[in-house]
Amino acid sequence: MIEGFPSWGFETEYTFSEGGSHDIQLTTTTDQGCVFTTIIPINVNYSAEVEIDYDGVCAGDLTSFDLTVDDLQAGGAISYLWDFGDLTNSFDAEPVHFFTEPGNYDLVVEVVTANGCTTVVEDDFTLFDLPEITFEFGLTCTGIPVEWSADVEANGGDVISWQWTLDGESLSSEPNGELLFDVSSDHLWSLTAATTNECVSSSDTLIMITDSPTPIIEYGPTFGSAPLEVLFAGESDANTFAWQFGDGNESEGAFTSHIYQEDGVYSGSLTATDELGCYGSSDFSIQVADPQIDLVLELLTMEEGIVSCVVINESNVTVSDLKMSWKLSDDAPISEIWDITLTSGESAGYSFTAIPNPQQSAIPFLCADVQMLDEYTDINPDNNKQCVALALENSIVVSPPFPNPAHDQMELTILVKQSQEIEIEVVSVDGRTAFWSDQVQLNSGYNSLQLDVGFLRSGYYLLHIHSENFSETHSFLRWNSP
């Protein structure tokens, strides 16, 4: 009987669970049935208690092994034998080993203590392969969000972190994302991925961001009455052109045309795509309606030799390519073409490129006007033009009446420093008053008055202009046409 466990036979083996002194009871029975019991004392040496620990479980790592040995009662460990499962061994207490291939290894270590006892410990050791990174990118074009991601094969674990950098700068800790580039350039994308088995892998790739095509659209007319046929031309280095006309109809090709059948404002687009799949769009607008053109010019100024004004599009359609003209006093007008597009209700400032010379003019006033280039007539031409006084020595300056001689209508141009009222009197050469106006309101700056002289008899007349502090007289001839 050993530790309460019976055993039969002339010989037996037993593994003691603990070291120390133990009593073995031997009971012998003879053929005659006699029974003899003997107590045999035995001293069992203590074995070391061994646990294996290691660091470095990923391919390419140097794996450091460590033992936790409880050997105080065994007299201390005196030798070690490691079997790494790859046909290599070590006699070091804490060996460092390099496994050439990832995989599973049967690890065995034998520890011999001073009392002659040997402890054998086995462990299943796994060397994990590093995560494998495969980059995935969408279209790499300017103006289009670049979608980026990576397929990470964890090899025995799960991916727990993604650390992206772009050109050396931190980008994201998400597995994927998108980024918009405005200019073409090369960029270095890098990803460091870590897994639950503590393996870390890094990879990078160089991505070229290419310019997306930006089509230039030429089209016309931009407005008109239905049915309105519009011609379109697209210019780009792209391979394909796709037109959206804004009324549900489409077309392809660099050149096309379309007929708009109903009134309305149509917002269309041209999308150009190149051989890499990069694409870009440009928009256009067509207004189908009976055009009512009404351009307004205001806020005319001249400062330091620069003539500026503001143009308002009060039309019911979008206008473009305007003719801008200005003149100084009685000088010949100077015209320029303004490459501008104004939607209905939109305004914009304009500065003329030519520089005036006020000293060359006898009557210092400045006039400017705006006109359409095409055949459409402005429904309110009076507000296309504005005139301003540049400098006046007197409070009122009156230009000679025009035309002279006059038949039905005569124009009188008056410049005033400040708004005020005047009276106009027409007197015949014999001193009789032929016409006397009520108070006429003048605005500061340039004023153009239309005088009806068709009711006068043929002959010479005097034109008197009166105000509180001003009086001036001009003569004119009224004549009947043959």
Question: Has residue 122 got a pLDDT over 80?
Answer: yes
Cis status, amide bond into 221, omega within 30 of 0: yes
- Average pLDDT over the chain reads 87
Strand partners, 448: 413
> DSSP letter string over 381-450?
GGGGEEEEES--SSSEEEPPPBSSSBSSEEEEEEEESS-EEEEEEEEETTS-EEEE---EEE-SEEEEEE
Strand partners, 228: 260
Query: What percent of the chain is predicted at pLDDT more than 90?
Result: 55
Percent helix, strand and coil across the chain, each to the nearest 5: 0, 60, 40
User: Distance between CA 1 and CA 425 in Å, rounded?
Assistant: 153
Neighbours of 232 (CB within 10 A): 22
CA 429 to chain centre: 78
Three-class secondary structure of residue 362 per DSSP = coil
- Predicted TM-score (pTM) of the model is 0.57
> What would the mean pLDDT of 429-433 be, rounded to a whole number?
88
pLDDT at 7: 63
Residue 299 CA neighbour count, 13 Å, CB half: 10
pLDDT at 361: 47
pLDDT in tens, 237-272: 899 999 999 999 999 999 999 999 999 999 999 999
Q: Are 239 and 277 in contact (CB under 8 A)?
A: no
Q: Are 324 and 351 in contact (CB under 8 A)?
A: no
pLDDT in tens, 184-209: 999 999 999 999 988 999 999 999 99
Q: Quick one: pLDDT band at residue 318, thresholds 50, 70, 90? A: confident
pLDDT at 131: 93
Give the residue from 370, 323, 473 showing the smallest Cα distance to 412: 473
Question: Has residue 10 got a pLDDT over 90?
Answer: no
Domains present along the chain, CATH in parentheses: 49-127 (2.60.40.10), 132-209 (2.60.40.10), 218-288 (2.60.40.10), 295-389 (2.60.40.10), 396-478 (2.60.40.2550)
Question: Has residue 482 got a pLDDT over 80?
Answer: no
pLDDT in tens, 128-183: 999 999 999 999 999 999 999 999 999 888 999 999 999 999 999 999 999 999 99
Question: Has residue 428 got a pLDDT over 80?
Answer: yes
Give the residue from 341, 338, 306 showing the smallest Cα distance to 323: 338
pLDDT at 8: 67
Q: Are 46 and 74 in contact (CB under 8 A)?
A: yes
> What would the mean pLDDT of 289-299 be, rounded to a whole number?
92
The answer to which of 137-151, 267-281, 315-329, 434-448 has the lowest mean pLDDT is 434-448
Question: Has residue 359 got a pLDDT over 60?
Answer: no
pLDDT at 366: 81
> What would the mean pLDDT of 431-439 be, rounded to a whole number?
87
pLDDT in tens, 42-90: 766 777 788 999 998 999 999 999 988 886 676 788 899 999 999 999 9
User: Distance between CA 285 and CA 265 in Å, rounded?
Assistant: 7
Tokens at residue 75, please?
A: 């007299």
User: Distance between CA 197 and CA 195 in Å, rounded?
Assistant: 5
Tokens at residue 19, please?
A: 């070291």
Q: With 0-12 CB in 10 A as exposed, 13-18 as middle and 19+ as buried, what is 151? A: exposed
Single-letter amino acid code for the residue at 25:
Q
Q: Are 130 and 155 in contact (CB under 8 A)?
A: yes
